[in-house]
Amino acid sequence: MHDLLQNLILGFSVALTLQNLMYCFIGVFLGTMIGVLPGIGPLATMAMLLPLTFFLPPVSAIIMLAGIYYGSDYGGSTTAILVNLPGEGSSVVTLLDGHPMAQQGRAGPALAIAAIGSFFAGCVSTLLIALVGPPLASVALNFGSPEYFSLMLMALVCASVVGSGSLLKSLAMVAAGLLIGIVGTDLSTGMSRFTFGVVELSDGVGIAVVAMGVFGLTEIVKNLGGPHMTQTIVRGKIQGLMPKWQDLKTCFGPIFRGTSIGALYGPLPGLGGTISSFTSYMLEKKLAKDPSRFGNGAIEGVAGPESANNACAQTTFVPMLTLGIPGSASMALMLGAMIIHGITPGPQVMTSRPDLFWGLIASMWIGNGMLLLLNLPLIGIWVKLLQVPYRLLFPIIMTMMGIGIYSLSNSGTDVLLMALFGFVGYILMKLGCPFPPLILAMVLGPVMEENLRRSMFLSEGDATIFITRPISGAFIFATVALLIVFIVPALRRYRRDIGNEAPQRG
């Protein structure tokens, strides 16, 4: 406990510097604003701002990117409640009861309880990171290259099979990400791989280029082709922001249960805020004395999912900070930012860069406090922002993206690559292919290859090293079990569908 207090004191001494406070504020403010605007999302924003962070100190850059990530969850609830559109995917559940509350003239209490639940969940989950992080990192320090390779393989497979959509498409995106990740010069042999004679590709394809293409440009094109997004906005001044005591009393249980669910789901690859929010909503509906209230303005239907959503956003940092394994595409971008700044992700970060680890944790508490103070007073500004025509907003965003990518290496090739990935990303989106596995594989690919080569060198070419070492073998076994659990039912469904079609053809 003494060591924890000493580390937290160090963290707050880093986070409370004027520079880091400023970047924390910028991050949470931008995150909230992006969360309010439907269709842009934290991934696209983090991808767009990634080039700018190269010119910042590493700690400030990570604090700002983290603020954008968890700040967007706050903003997403505002859009869901006022406009009946989720600013974030994880806010889909919030609109089920949040917007009916707004239509009943209770937009204020809905927004307030969403902010209070998010603040409580964020603070508790940050405390969990501080408590769980050091022991988990000390265990991971005993990992060798076989254990790291097996763990990363399990993380990629887990993110593919647990996520929504087709398992085959998810695994195909993992394969594509691994191939993109090895483009460039092989550090062991000095040979060029998949560069096709393009000199600019000798250093590889930057994660910012791919992320801005598939998340930024693809999202912009998708939203430009979508319906008008401000048609159901709540008109008039929003009054009575503070919820009544009865509302608070009703929401104590849902906030606590939602926080617990989100904290449990966050570290698991592939289980994002959307799944934790749905789980919380279904649990509250099951526990309610009158389930028919849900969908018609039940305040518990806002409190529980919002708490789960934000707790999940915070605890997603656990595997990224302690093991160097990103559990989501957003964490992959954070990991990419650390690598770009010369920081080797993994358990050694806690010992080699304690200012970064504990400064980030301390900044999360500060950022959550800023969000609570920011959200409610700025409701009027967010309502005005929602009325800005997207045909004016998106050209500005695209211009910023182009400038940001070009400024990375003063290379027009990077801008063309971003456009190419945006075009390919739009086609893949139409085909139903998920992007998070692509980014995860692209970030983990080079590290996996390095650990694979090191393991084979240690074992003199004997691949059984991954099975004979107990921890590595356990990860491999879990990976195979995951594949079997998810592939066998899919094959049965496929055979059943083929069997049903055969008589029709006859």
| pLDDT per position as a tens digit, 235-267 | 555 555 666 777 778 788 888 888 888 887 777
**Confidence category of residue 501, pLDDT binned at 50, 70, 90:** low
Q: Report which of 47, 54, 86 is spatially closest to residue 68, judged by C-alpha positions.
A: 47
The predicted-structure confidence for 425-458, as pLDDT tens digits, reads as follows: 888 888 888 777 887 788 778 878 888 888 888 8
Give the model's confidence band at 101: pLDDT under 50 very low, under 70 low, under 90 confident, else very high.
confident
- What integer pLDDT is reported at residue 182 of this predicted model? 84
CA atoms within 13 A on the CB side of 67: 30
Give 246-267 as a DSSP string.
HHHHHHHHHHHHHHHHHHHHTT
Nearest to residue 239, comparing CAs of 140, 119, 106?
106
Residue with tokens 């084979």: 456
pLDDT at residue 88 above 70? no
0.85 exceeded by pTM: no
pLDDT mean across residues, the chain = 77
Q: Quick one: pLDDT at residue 490? A: 66
β-bridge mates for residue 184, sequence order:
193
pLDDT tens string 276-297: 777 788 788 877 787 777 777 7
- 160 pLDDT band, cuts 50/70/90, is confident
User: What is the predicted pLDDT for the residue at 92?
Assistant: 65
* pLDDT tens-digit series, residues 109-151: 888 888 888 888 888 888 888 887 777 777 776 778 888 888 8
Q: How far apart are CA 440 and CA 258, in angstroms?
A: 27
Collapsing DSSP to helix, strand or coil, 185 comes out as strand
The 3-state DSSP class for residue 205 equals coil
Domain ranges of the chain: 91-231+249-505
Tokens of 180: 């993109």
